Structure formats: C-alpha cells, structure tokens
Chains A and B, each alone.
Chain A
C-alpha cells in the first residue's frame, strides 16, 4: 500500500546543531508539505513543494529549509536548532490540484 513515512520518529538535539528530518511518500504525489504542531497553535505550515526543484515558504519558515530532488522525498533541515523549534513535525502530501492532504506519523523533536 502507498504511504507516507517520517524518520526519525523521535529526536533529541542540542541548540546550534543542524538537524534533518526525512519525509518519504510512495503515492507519487506532486505536492508535499511540512507543518509543525504546537499546543494552542495547531498545525502551521513551514515549507511546501509542488514538484521536483520547487520549494516555497510557509507562515513559519524562518530557521528551516527544504529541497526537492525527486518526487518521493522532501527533507526538512533546521540550520541551527533553537529551543523554540521543539515541536512535533508532520509531513503531508497531496495530488496535484487536489486539496485533501495525507499526513505522516510525525517526528517529535526536542532541542535542549
């Protein structure tokens, strides 16, 4: 069955370190999205991509970057991790032109 996976599921890192969270989908969806979920804020969009080599900033993109070298993967990089980036991160994907998004299981990141 097609699916979307995230790794690692849990990560503890130190302030200032670079961290990369992986997202892999096997639906062959063109659209991929990264969100963070925090209490009181819900899901907030970090970055998104409509296809290979396309990336766009969301509402909370500062301190994060993404690159899209193939259809299946959209890794999220925290350039220099900060305690404010402690959160649960979700990757999602959707077919081109479609609004329904399908979510991965999430990565719980703690920055100490």
Chain B
C-alpha cells in the first residue's frame, strides 16, 4: 500500500461545477500538506499549502485537512476550462528532512 493514495481519474466536470479532489495517507506524522497543479508537459506549481488540520481558502480554491481521518481535500469552486490539469497532493513530516511524499495525481478536465 502506498503512503499517499490519490484517485488518478480522469475526472470530467462541466464548467462552473464544484470540484472535489482528495488524498488519503497512512503516515500519522505528516504535518505539512500541499496541492500542486501540473499542466500537460509542464512542471508542478504550488497551489495551496497548509499546516496541520483545518481549512485554508485562496480565491476559488479551498484546502481541507482532517488529520483524524488522514484525509485531505482540495475544492475548486466555479471551475473553469483553465483548471484542466493534473492535481498532485504532497505532504511532509516535521523532521522529515523537507522531503515531500506525493500522490500519483488526479487528472481533471473541465468542459465547456
């Protein structure tokens, strides 16, 4: 079993829909949680960064961390075709040498 599990999709939604992307993990020591967006043939770019449990909002994006369930989510409101990309979750533990453990990514397509 992988340390971080993420449904690969593809996930196809109509424009304007609310999108929910999720990751589960097994290492209870993870404290730092990130979401990266990766367009085709590009490098990952940071979308959201949260520490420990709770919610964080940035424009149309909301990141949620539920450490008791070992579950993190990324919500995208009013999805746009420009949101079509692969979304990678990543996490790290305190004292883990700043190394990240990544999910395999979920491919999202937002259709007109």
Contacts and interface: CB of A to CB of B under 8 A. Distances in A.
Contact of A106 (B6, B36, B43, B88): B43
B44 interface: yes
Interface size class of A (residues with CB under 8 A): 20 to 34
A90 B104 contact: no
Contact of A99 (B36, B45, B100, B105): B100
**Which of B42, B92, B104 has the most chain A CB atoms closer than 10 A to its own CB?**
B104
A98 B98 contact: yes
Contact of A105 (B32, B43, B90): B43
Contacts of B34: 99-100
A28 B44 CA distance: 20
A94 B104 contact: no
Contact of B103 (A42, A97, A98): A42
A45 B41 CA distance: 19
Contacts of A56: 97
B99 A103 contact: no
Interface residues of B, number: 23
A19 B8 CA distance: 31
A106 B99 CA distance: 19
Contact of B99 (A42, A48, A108): A48
Interface of B: 6, 8, 32, 34, 36, 41-46, 49, 88, 90, 92, 97-100, 102-105
29 contacts: A33-B99, A41-B104, A42-B102, A42-B105, A43-B44, A43-B88, A43-B102, A48-B99, A56-B97, A58-B99, A90-B43, A90-B44, A96-B98, A97-B98, A99-B32, A99-B49, A99-B92, A99-B98, A100-B34, A101-B98, A101-B100, A102-B46, A103-B43, A103-B44, A103-B45, A105-B42, A105-B43, A106-B41, A106-B42
Interface of A: 31, 33, 40-43, 45, 48, 50, 56, 58, 90, 94, 96-106, 108
Given A98-B98, A103-B44, 9 more contacts: A31-B98, A41-B104, A42-B103, A50-B97, A96-B98, A99-B34, A104-B43, A106-B41, A106-B43
